[in-house]
Amino acid sequence: MSTPNSSSDPRRPGKVHRYTRPSVGGLVDDPTAEYMNLFGMIFSMCGLMLKLKWCAWAAVYCAFISFANARSSDDTKQMLSSFMLSVSAVFMSYLQNPQPMMLPW
């Protein structure tokens, strides 16, 4: 074994800092609620404009997921309006055509 040559060692012991993990504070930024809110609005508009019942039901599903994953600091008015838009899409699609939903595949 050879001994390390201290004159060619590029490390500086005064510059070494031990890694400390940053504190999260309990809140992790999870964008699931925002994405589901956006998807719910898109599906609601497709259900209303295109009269697709499966889009309206997908909007209700996305609205429930958005509500379940939301933090208390999120805007409740936007979540409520998204949920009411999805329910109105289901209501209007069945009001215009009361037959059971036919699957697209």
Query: What one-character-per-residue DSSP string does 20-86 give?
Result: -PPP-TT----THHHHHHHHHHHHHHHHHHH--HHHHHHHHHHHHHHHHH--TTS-HHHHHHHHHHH
CA 104 to the chain's CA centroid: 26
Cβ proximity of 62 and 36 under 8 Å: yes
The per-residue pLDDT for range 26-37, each reduced to its tens digit, is 566 778 888 999
d(CA 62, CA 90): 13
Cβ proximity of 43 and 59 under 8 Å: yes
d(CA 72, CA 95): 35
Cβ proximity of 72 and 27 under 8 Å: no
Q: What is the pLDDT of residue 24?
A: 67
Q: State the DSSP code for 10.
A: -
Which residues in the chain show pLDDT less than 70? 1-7, 24-28, 104
